[in-house]
Copies of this chain bind each other. A is one copy, B any other.
Amino acid sequence: MPAKRPPIPLSRERIIDAALEIADAQGLRRLTMRRLGDALQVEAMAIYHHVPGGKEALLDALAQHVTTVSVDPAGLPAWRDLAGAWCRAGRAALLAHPGVLALAMTKPPRGSAAAAIREQTQQLSDAGLADAPAAVRALRSYVFGSVAVELQQTGWADPRTEHVSGDPEGDAAFERGLSALLTGLAGS
């Protein structure tokens, strides 16, 4: 019973990608070490060499992955457009991996995710927005909540409700609420 070499060597990157795929396709509940190992054609214990800290650390990494975004402020001199770009980027990143939304909202931002928040605050401040920290907090709240409500609406991760994969209403609803919030922030 020789210890066969996996087809391509394991890496933290590949592990995280596979974990995201499983979580998105089957839900967080079914993301297990052994299943993850199967997807990577490796025994479960091999993962621990590349992700020290075990499952907890893996989940942290997933949360960090879907909450780390960046926006190039070039060409967006008005803070309102800049803020809109950040929000749309954040929403897209979360919607791309619905399976880990619960983690993203629960785990405090760490590392690159925290850095992204600081960068967003700095950019908005530079663009002339007063009290950028408060604005960023309100915008992050709205983005998180929007995605959560949108996924609730489409019945994601719920065997009882039908999956309404096409949700053209989601975009429009997001933009309307975002517009309202930005307008309100401008006047405060």
Determine whether the beta carbon of A173 is less than 8 Å from that of B109: no
With A106-B148, A144-B144, A145-B144 known as contacts, the answer to whether A180 contacts B185 (CB < 8 A) is yes
* CB of A121 to closest CB in B, whole Å: 13
**A107 at interface, CB cutoff 8 A:** yes
**A118 at interface, CB cutoff 8 A:** no
**A14 at interface, CB cutoff 8 A:** no
* CB of A154 to closest CB in B, whole Å: 9
Determine whether the beta carbon of B140 is less than 8 Å from that of A145: yes
Q: Which of A76-131 contact B (CB under 8 A)?
A: 101-103, 105-109
**Which residue of B134, B141, B180 contacts A148 across the interface (Cβ within 8 Å)?**
B141
Determine whether the beta carbon of A179 is less than 8 Å from that of B173: no
Chain B residues with CB under 8 Å of A143's CB are 145
Question: Which residues of A are interface residues toward B (Cβ below 8 A)?
Answer: 101-103, 105-109, 134, 137-138, 140-146, 148-149, 151-153, 155, 157-158, 161, 173, 176-177, 179-185, 187-188
